[in-house]
Structure 1
């Protein structure tokens, strides 16, 4: 009977050690689970921030695309305005030449009238 009590006591101590180890394992698993949940939460926050930054980058990319289109359009308009300016300058030069020709013709007309008057008077 002594051996049975000693065996029972030893078995009880072994069960107590197993229980304590199981409890320590459970607590370690709970701590790991808590850490994993915290890491998951942080990863979700990081993912949300990355999505926000991606949306900003996409909006900036769209603005850049629109700005490039506007620049191309303005460059086309600038070419057109420069062409119109060149045409206006050519017309201005033609007008200046026409005014000079008109002034020369009036001078010549005045000279012809003067000679005609002299011829009629003689």
Structure 2
């Protein structure tokens, strides 16, 4: 199983690869440099700087709208990441709704945290 850090790094690498293959398009070089900075900041766990660099990369692509081909490739990479990583949340929510509909009681956030603490042998 890949850890989120590995998946996140892979996402940044794939986005960099797509942008690099379209480096002649207007605004892409700027977005590429901003995304490289975001990756470095991510690796250094500098969340504030990473977020700023991501916003700059997106801004560069908004100011200079990408070609249909580039847009499709970016969409494909992001959709793949969503399906692998974030799509699980909606599936888990659906399972929880099914469990509740069958008579099960959902735990509150506090109950979940308490259960986690008990299993870890820690407290908050």
Q: TM-score range by the shorter chain?
A: under 0.3
Q: Which has the higher contact order (CA 8 A, sep 6+)?
A: 2
TM-score w.r.t. the length of structure 1 is 0.24
More helix by share: 1
Q: Which of 1 and 2 has greater Rg?
A: 1
